[in-house]
Amino acid sequence: MSVAGETRAFGLRHLLGMEGVAREDIVTILDLADAMAQISERPIKKVPTLRGKTVITLFAEPSTRTRASFELAGKRLSAEVINLSASTSSFQKGESLLDTARNLEAMRPDILILRHSAAGAPHFLADRLGCAILNAGDGWHAHPSQALLDCATIRKHKGSLDGLEVAICGDIRHSRVARCNVIALQTLGAKVRCAGPRTMMPVGMEEQYGVTVHDRIEAAVEGADVVMMLRLQLERQRGALFPNAREYARFYGLNPARAALAKPDAIIMHPGPMNRGLEIDPAVADGERSVILEQVTYGVAVRMALLCLFAGVRPEVG
Ligand code: CP
């Protein structure tokens, strides 16, 4: 892989959500991610592609996968990477998000990566800052790099997303992953079915997103090429949305019998972190059709691709 130099052909200035992201831009990201994935398999996992570029991650909510993979992505590309969290930043002294971000921008980063509990926080900064903003998850709203790594994982297994039947099951209402995935999957030609308790299904999913909605998980999983389970977002739920954990697992958990309703070559996905025994049975999560840890591996590759493209560096692939 060699560095081709600066380019303006990529169509995005920030990555805030999947709405309006063109199919060609998604394909560019996924193609570059496939090339980047090879770097992580080498004995020396480092290339000079982003030498001289600066990336700051600002996580105002907990994260394991997204934060570690953005940091690793930057380091494997030789960027300078600085990581800040709410608990160790001057948020603790009452500094606002905008003041924090403006001070970080004064240090001249090329990219600022933000996770925040407020939906729209990355958009707010994108309107006010000069560097590229990548949304690493904002409230219930969006988690675009997760959707992209999910699409990359599916494409690796299925070759193409065109015409695939994808079931997204569980707590759709509180999931920033679900919304982004619906849009990205449909942009790449997949058909999406959603299932979950009505109390966790946003009103108007069919009309707004063009998905089919099922009350029973079996109806969504039957004949699916991909089954994507969602975490019960207990920290975002106000009030009881289901009787108890045992009832939820009984009616909405993906157990071996339900997983068997999908196509024989179906893959099982989960963005993590998992509530084992609640939305997914450990036998399925660790079973031979599970690609859950491959999603995490692709997370690094997709984020390497994003850092290159949003830093204005487009390596030649192939
Ligand atoms: N999938 C995901 O966003 O995981 P983290 O919260 O650990 O980053």
3-state secondary structure 250-279: HHHCECHHHHCCCCCCCEEECCCCCCECCC
CA–centroid distance, 176 to ligand 1, in Å, is: 11
**What is the chain's pLDDT, residue by residue, as a tens digit (318 residues)?**
544 444 447 989 999 999 999 999 999 999 999 999 999 999 999 999 999 999 999 999 999 999 999 999 999 999 999 999 999 899 999 999 999 999 999 999 999 999 999 999 999 999 999 999 999 999 999 999 999 999 999 999 999 999 999 999 999 999 999 999 999 999 999 999 999 999 999 999 999 999 999 999 999 999 999 999 999 876 666 666 676 778 899 999 999 999 999 999 999 999 999 999 999 999 999 999 999 999 999 999 999 999 999 999 988 765
* Tokens describing residue 116: 């925040």
Residue 61 Cα: closest atom of ligand 1: 6
Q: Residues of 254-289 as b/e, b for ≥16 C-beta within 10 angstroms?
A: bbeebbebbbeebbbbbbbebbeebbbbeebbeeeb
Q: Determine the Cα–Cα distance for residues 162 and 280; give it in Å rounded to an integer.
A: 27
Q: Pairing state of beta strands 2-6 and 80-85?
A: unpaired
> What pTM did the predictor assign?
0.94
Among 65, 141, 174, residue to substitute to test ligand 1 (most atoms within 8 Å of Cβ): 65
Q: Are 289 and 266 in contact (CB under 8 A)?
A: yes
Residue 69 Cα: closest atom of ligand 1: 8
CB neighbour list of residue 276: distance below 8 Å, 6 or more residues apart: 282, 285
Ligand 1, pocket residues at CB < 6 Å = 63-67, 137, 143, 146, 271-273
Residue 66 Cα: closest atom of ligand 1: 8
Within a 10 A sphere around the Cβ of 24, how many other Cβ atoms?
11
CA–centroid distance, 103 to ligand 1, in Å, is: 26
Residue nearest to atom 3 of ligand 1 (CA): 66
Predicted pLDDT of residue 5: 47
Q: Determine the Cα–Cα distance for residues 202 and 54; give it in Å rounded to an integer.
A: 39
CA–centroid distance, 299 to ligand 1, in Å, is: 10
